[in-house]
Amino acid sequence: MFDFILDLVMKYTPLESWEVDTESKLREDLKMDHSDLYLLRNELGNMLETEISEEDMDQVVSVMDLLKLAEKYAKM
């Protein structure tokens, strides 16, 4: 699942993959803005064939949080 999330995150950050780890913060470290996070949420929802709520996505700060969110929705 980590590789899947990393590939998804890499679409929305100007950084190289070696600069990203589970502790990377989406907004601060990876330079994602609101529109990037919106697109990320939609693409993640499409891949998991579910609707990711804005409230859940608002709680995501780091790559690890995104991974946990993906696992939560994958189990639904």
Give, for all 76 residues of the chain, the pLDDT tens digit: 888 899 999 999 999 988 999 999 999 999 999 999 999 999 999 999 999 999 999 999 999 999 999 999 999 8
CB atoms within 10 A of CB 29: 16
Q: Which residue is associated with the tokens 């590789």?
A: 3
Buried-state track 31-41, b at ≥16 Cβ within 10 A, e below 16: ebeeebbeebb
Catalogue all structural domains in the chain, each as residue range(s) with its CATH number.
2-12+25-74 (1.10.1200)
How far apart, in whole angstroms, are the C-alpha atoms of residue 73 and residue 57? 11
* Residue spans of alpha helices (H) in the chain: 2-10, 34-48, 54-58, 63-74
